[in-house]
Amino acid sequence: MKWDTPYFEVQCFDKDGTLIDSHAEYTSGLILTPGTEHAFRIWFSPARELTLYANYKVFLRDARDAKRWY
């Protein structure tokens, strides 16, 4: 099944593994297909100094069936 308009969450961590920032957004125009690696970019303004950001995790939290009409 193809997925459309994915909702991503990015969690950002410092060097100690403490969550210091997060961002979530729907990405319209992006269609995800199973068994395929996808490249994408998520832009947001950091809440802290850039030097504090050591690691991040990206989660796909929601998406819509690409064949369904809304």
In a domain, 42, yes or no: no
In a domain, 43, yes or no: no
In a domain, 57, yes or no: yes
Tokens of 48: 């802290």
In a domain, 68, yes or no: yes
Total domains present in the chain: 1
24, β-bridge pairs:
9
Give the model confidence (pLDDT) of 1-11 as tens digits.
Answer: 899 999 999 99
Q: In terms of pTM, does the model score above 0.85?
A: no
Give the model confidence (pLDDT) of 30-61 as tens digits.
Answer: 999 999 999 988 999 999 999 999 999 999 99
Q: Tell me the pairing of strands 31-32 and 19-26.
A: unpaired
CA distance 25 to 51: 24
CA distance 58 to 64: 18
In a domain, 59, yes or no: yes
- CB-count burial class (<10 Å; 0-12, 13-18, 19+) for 39: exposed
Where in the sequence is the domain holding 29, given as residue range(s)? 1-33+50-70
